[in-house]
């Protein structure tokens, strides 16, 4: 591996190991030396007089001490090098995995075996991060593929309408224009929904004080003609419900929820209940409606982009399937939570919790 000149961690660890070993060795030898001076009697065999005695003692001791130190040096260097190498081996694997991830291979995992230690923790955390990234990238790719497909559909329909008109000049142009208009409107709806979704995802909005009950009034007022046309009664019960966030996005969220509650309702005599309120830590918006019975499995997929339930074919409402994905995204960027549950009698109950402006999290 090419590394810029400098001391590798392995070398540094080896040198500190050697350093400590030499220091400990030297201290030990010094202790032995002091011990010899003190306790070896003057009449040590073959030694005469005090000064020559000490001198001779030193000259016998010093070479032995030097040999011991030299041995410790070699031993420390070799042992330290091997030990440091073994200790740092997991780091090499983690570095390799990082390089692979940087080159775009997210499917690789380190899967470090062995005891739970700091390296293992790092490797596991890294694996978790890779798994999340991989899932996120796959989701983005799926989204892009779905979005392209959805965008191509109206264009392909326009194309075939135009083909028919060209090959049959006697064709009724009024009808053609009407159908082209409808297809075009749908393409615009879809593009606008995609733009809203990307804007919501970016978190680049200014936070202002909003009152959820006013948003509900605004949304229901706009949607009342639609509700009347479909014979759906809209029942609102709202208190002043202050929240903090983007007025435009929260209005979009409320509108999407009430719109869904109206169009995915019973064919006749449907009802929608909208409430807002303040809880100790959060503020709540609830939208509930009658409708077809839905299973929890179906309900759990509804917030995925382009997921449409059974109502897709029925009725004149052909949604683009992004309404709930947009709601989820808006709730997410406002640090709120979204709960979607089927009602036992049919239809849905959707609850949005947003942080209260007075709680610490807002």
Ligand X SMILES: Nc1ncnc2c1ncn2[C@@H]1O[C@H](COP(=O)(O)OP(=O)(O)O)[C@@H](O)[C@H]1O
Per CB under 6 A, does 253 bind ligand X?
A: no
Select from Mg ion, ligand X, none the partner in contact with residue 210, using the beta carbon and a kind-dependent cut-off of 5 to 8 Å: none
Q: For the chain, how many residues are written?
A: 362
The contact mask relative to ligand X for 257-286 (x = CB under 6 A, - = no) is ---xx--x----------------------
Of 303-322, binders to ligand X (CB under 6 A) are 307-309, 311-312, 319-322
Per CB under 6 A, does 347 bind ligand X?
A: yes
Considering the complex, state which of residue 130 and residue 190 has its C-beta at the smaller distance from ligand X: 190
Of the residues 80, 309, 323, 336, which one makes contact with Mg ion according to CB under 5 A: 323
Q: How far is CA 153 from the centre of its chain?
A: 31
Of 244-273, binders to Mg ion (CB under 5 A) are 260
The contact mask relative to ligand X for 210-249 (x = CB under 6 A, - = no) is ----------------------------------------
Radius of gyration of the chain (CA): 38
| 8 Å CB contact between 286 and 339 | no
Q: How many CB atoms lie within 10 A of CB 16?
A: 13
Residue for token pair 């009950």 = 213
Three-state secondary structure along 267-299?
CCCEEEEEEEEECCCEEEEEEEECCCCCCHHHH
Per CB under 6 A, does 348 bind ligand X?
A: yes
Per CB under 5 A, does 319 bind Mg ion?
A: yes
Per CB under 6 A, does 324 bind ligand X?
A: yes
**Considering the complex, what minimum distance in angstroms separates the CB of residue 319 from ligand X?**
2
| Complete DSSP assignment for 226-280 | HHHHTTEEEEEEE---EEEE-HHHHHHHHHHHHHHHHHTS-SSSEEEEEEEEE-S
Q: SS3 of 75, please?
A: helix
Considering the complex, state which of residue 245 and residue 319 has its C-beta at the smaller distance from ligand X: 319
């Amino acid at each position: 591996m090419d590394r810029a000149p400098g001391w590798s961690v392995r070398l540094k660890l080896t040198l500190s190991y050697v350093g400590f070993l030499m220091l400990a060795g030297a201290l030990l030898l010094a202790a032995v030396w002091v011990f010899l001076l003190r306790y070896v009697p003057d009449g040590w065999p073959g030694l005469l007089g005090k000064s020559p005695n000490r001198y001779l003692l030193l000259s016998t001791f010093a070479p032995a001490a030097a040999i011991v130190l030299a041995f410790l040096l070699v031993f420390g260097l070799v042992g330290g090098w091997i030990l440091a190498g073994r200790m740092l081996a997991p780091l090499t694997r983690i570095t390799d995995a990082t390089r692979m991830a940087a080159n775009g291979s997210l499917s690789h995992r380190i899967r470090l075996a062995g005891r739970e230690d700091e390296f293992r923790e790092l490797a596991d955390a890294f694996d978790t991060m890779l798994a999340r990234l991989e899932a996120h990238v796959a989701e983005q790719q799926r989204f892009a593929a779905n979005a392209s497909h959805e965008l191509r559909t109206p264009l392909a329909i326009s194309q075939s309408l135009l083909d028919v008109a060209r090959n049959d000049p006697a064709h009724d142009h009024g009808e053609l224009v009407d159908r082209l208009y409808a297809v075009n409107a749908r393409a615009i709806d879809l593009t606008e929904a995609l733009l809203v979704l990307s804007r919501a995802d970016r978190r680049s909005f200014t936070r202002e004080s909003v009152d959820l009950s006013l948003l509900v009034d605004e949304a229901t007022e706009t949607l009342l003609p639609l509700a009347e046309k479909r014979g759906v009664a809209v029942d609102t019960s709202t208190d002043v419900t202050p929240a903090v966030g983007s007025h435009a996005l929260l209005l979009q969220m409320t509108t999407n929820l009430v719109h869904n509650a109206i169009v995915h309702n019973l064919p006749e005599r449907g009802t929608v209940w909208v409430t807002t309120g303040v809880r100790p830590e959060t503020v709540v918006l609830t939208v509930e409606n009658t409708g077809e019975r839905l299973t929890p499995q179906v309900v759990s997929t509804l917030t995925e982009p382009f997921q449409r339930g059974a109502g897709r074919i029925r009725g004149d409402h052909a949604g683009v399937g992004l309404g709930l994905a947009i709601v989820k995204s808006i709730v997410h960027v406002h640090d709120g939570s979204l709960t979607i549950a089927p009602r036992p009698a049919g239809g849905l109950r959707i609850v949005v919790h947003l942080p209260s402006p007075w709680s610490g999290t807002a």
